[in-house]
A and B are shown apart, each in its own frame.
Chain A
Amino acid sequence: MANVGVLAIFKYYHFLNDNVALLFQTLGLADPLPVLKIILPIGLSFHTFQAMAYTIEIYRGNQRAERHFGLYALYVMFYPQLVAGPIERPQNLIHQFHDRHTFSYPEVTDGLRLMLWGFFKKIVIADRLAVLVNQVYNHPAQYKGAALLLATYAFAFQIYCDFSGYSDIALGAAQVMGFRLMKNFDRPYHAQSISEFWSRWHISLSTWFRDYLYIPLGGNRVSRGRFYTNLLIVFLVSGLWHGANWTFLVWGALHGFYLVFALWSGPFRQRAARWLGLARRPRLGTAFNVLVTFHLVSFAWIFFRANSLSDAHYIITHLPSGLGASVRSYAAGLWGSDLGLNRMELLVALLGLLVMELVHLAQLKSEKPIRQLLGEAPYWVRWPIYYTVVAALFFFGKFDAQEFIYFQF
């Protein structure tokens, strides 16, 4: 209660007040709630959930209470994951504070490799795409068609590279110090369904909601109607967790709807897949599923990024406007600089995404993690790669101080 109360006051009070004020204004009454000037503490949502996980696990008997206040405080505020997760469980983290740590060359170098990769995704890709996304999404009425489509795709990759890049830096930094944090992303845009997407995206949060909200509500061990309701509740709360705005609620509701619809329509979709011949062509079927899932997620991201519901409505309704003509225009290389990125910037962003996807595909085909393979390679293979990434960070990095997206949650 204390944790949720703190979150409610700091994060949701203004949202509640704004909506109550609007309602009372409509009724011709004065706003009954006072205006509080409170600053949102950094990473509040993350370390609040982490503290709640601790309390719940002790209550369930899965974790012994930590008697040392300093270690408990370190668990709640462990600096690599303080501002944007991953949201750790006490079973994973607290015992590591008690363990003896010695310098491990492979662990330190592996951690540094992970941090380097995280910086590449954040500084080269995410911050570059942010320029385009911010230009379009902050002034949507100036755009239509291909510009809105491009900005939406760009945001899908921006938020992934930004958040997973941060997570890699956090995990790498912790690993350098000898601590292992949980993996938070697993190539989410390779998911073949929304359900699979949520097992690959922000894994620490989705498992948190699974263990502390979905399962206590009954999970799928209830009637079908209640099952669907549980899913909607979880995703509505998830949307609200991300931000105190109706857009986040709609985003969460959309994902809940996607899941419910997927469950309800499962048999129909299987029949459709057989009829289309996708069952006989598994690779085509996989590609189709991945593309559909990606587009469903990207559509939902519109609400996540839009500044308001009316902006989101504008974007959705004007996406098809003149789409063909504007796509042909951009494809012909007549790239207008009204999207904030010049040709070179866009090319670098695309190349960065290509490199990232090639690494992901290589990871898919490899039995071992790429980082481990790199660590086992001779120095004349490793070091040129390191220098190339460092040079890429320097030459292609965007250093305009774009804050990590999830820092605002």
Chain B
Amino acid sequence: MKHFVLMALLFLLPFVLWEELLRHKPEPPFWYEDALGQARDAQLDFLFIGSSRVGAAIDSGYFEAGAEKALGRKVRAVNLGMGYSTLAEHTLAIKRLYRLHPEHLRGTTIFVETLAGIPSSETWQTSWVHQGWPDLIIPSLGWADLYTFWNLSTNSRADKFYVTAGKFLRLSGEAVRLRRRFWNEGNVALTEYLTRSAPRQAYDLSSAAGVRTDDAGVTAARKLAIEISAAQLKGQQPIRDWEGAIVHDLTRFVTAQGGAVVFFATPLSSVEGAAWRTPLRQADLRAFEKVAAAWGSTSLTVDFVAPDSDFPDLWRLRQSRKQDYTDALASAYLQSKSGPRP
């Protein structure tokens, strides 16, 4: 038995050494790192949260320039849109941000992504992390949150173990990133090899926020958009219960800290938009706008039209239209504040 225990410990030794090595390396940048860094030094005025659609559609520097011209003062804006992120992750990260730098977040406006005006209706009893990306939540998850994560979230046991291990071990997060890189880059390399004689297409997409810009990635994304939209059109149920939604929790929190929440619609292709422009969803939108007003938050109507050719993968706006959309968003926001156009 002693021999077995010794052998087992020896077997685990490389993992222990790897963990030790990782602890001496700087941590991989957390996707809220920019916000954390800026909030350390000065007031953060605007944060944009949501998926990779937000990451692709908003140029925070351009927004800052426009807002500064309109408001007559320096502003700081950070785009926190991230592919495969969930509202649960954003909410926990925002709460952590406020915990660390409350003095520089008083009065901050949080722009929350919506699809055709309706935000995510997820609750704490649904999925907290996107499968395959459990490492996004680890830096923001406190010990009490971890307990709730296990009890309430519908994520798989594998994801829950990864996240829990990630709280203790750098190795867990590193291993998840390695695995993801292996699969993404492996598939890209294999696809390129198999289709090496086929003409390559260049896509006007930024790879920021985790967006894939290779042929296989874009093709897969287009197919997924069509499938998801078709699935969403079948058996639609009304979205009316916002009391228990994470977005309500976020709004309450931000408002209590003296901040403001603004709901804005990211541009959608006709494929994605089809599921969100049905009569039922229009009714849901009207209902949500009333709820948002009752919460003291703002729902923006952004005057921006984009044909499907502006969405190379049917999900995200092309780079060359980023500033157009940012301009439209800024205008809509400033008009809602009764301010002049930038």
Interface set of A (CB-CB < 8 Å, partner B): 103, 105, 108-109, 333-335, 337-338, 342-345, 347, 383, 386-387, 394-395, 399-401
Known: A109-B4, A344-B183, A347-B190. A337 touches B219 (CB 8 A): yes
A399 B156 Cβ-Cβ under 8 A: yes
Bound CA span A180–B219, Å: 51
Partner of A342, one of B131, B175, B187, B195: B187
Q: Is B25 an interface residue (CB 8 A)?
A: no
B14 proximal to A (CB < 8 A): yes
> Are B187 and A105 touching (Cβ within 8 A)?
no
Instruction: State the Cβ distance, A336 to closest chain B Cβ, in Å.
Output: 9
Residues in chain A near residue B190, CB distance under 8 A: 343-344, 347
Some 20 contacts from A to B, beta carbons below 8 A apart, are: A103-B1, A103-B4, A105-B1, A105-B3, A105-B4, A333-B195, A334-B195, A342-B220, A343-B216, A344-B186, A344-B187, A345-B187, A383-B11, A387-B14, A395-B178, A395-B182, A399-B156, A399-B158, A400-B131, A401-B157
Say yes or no: A333 contacts B156, CB within 8 Å. no
Instruction: Tell me the nearest residue of chain A to B220, going by C-beta.
Output: A337
- Residues on B with C-beta less than 8 A from A103 are 1, 4
- A337 partner residues in chain B, CB cutoff 8 A: 219-220, 223
Chain A residue numbers with a CB within 8 Å of B183 are 344
Contacts of B175 in A (CB 8 A): 394
Tell me the bound Cα distance from A210 to B278 in angstroms: 61
Give the complex CA separation of A333 and B175 in angstroms: 30
Q: Closest Cβ of chain A: how far from B156's Cβ, in Å?
A: 5
Asked if A343 and B11 make an inter-chain contact with CB atoms under 8 angstroms apart, the answer reads no
Count chain B residues whose beta carbon lies closer than 8 angstroms to a beta carbon of A.
25
Main secondary structure of the interface of B (DSSP, over half): helix
Which residues of B from 177 to 197 have beta carbons under 8 Å from A? 178-179, 182-183, 186-187, 190-191, 194-195
**Residue of A337, A342, A344, A386 with highest tally of chain B CB at under 10 A:** A344
Is the CB–CB distance between A394 and B179 below 8 Å? yes
Residues of A within 8 A of B178 (CB): 395
Q: What is the bound-complex CA distance between A387 and B11, given in angstroms?
A: 9
Contact for B179 among A334, A347, A395, CB less than 8 A: A395
Given A343-B187, A343-B194, A386-B11, 10 other A-B residues pairs in contact with their CB atoms under 8 A: A105-B1, A105-B3, A105-B4, A335-B194, A345-B187, A347-B190, A383-B11, A395-B178, A395-B179, A401-B156
CB distance from A101 to the nearest CB of B (A): 12
Q: Which residue of A lies closest to B1 (CB)?
A: A103
B194 touches A333 (CB 8 A): yes
CB of B111 to closest CB in A, whole Å:
33
Q: How far is the CB of B186 from chain A (nearest CB, A)?
A: 5
| A395 CA to B176 CA, complexed, in Å | 9
Report the separation of the CA atoms of residues A386 and B15 in the bound assembly, to the nearest whole angstrom: 13
**6 closest A-B pairs by CB:** A333-B194, A399-B158, A344-B187, A103-B1, A344-B186, A343-B190
Would you list which residues of chain B between 122 and 172 have a CB under 8 Å from chain A? 131, 156-158
Across the interface, which residues of A come within 8 angstroms of B195, CB to CB?
Answer: 333-334
How far is B181's CA from A344's CA once the two chains are assembled, in angstroms?
Answer: 12
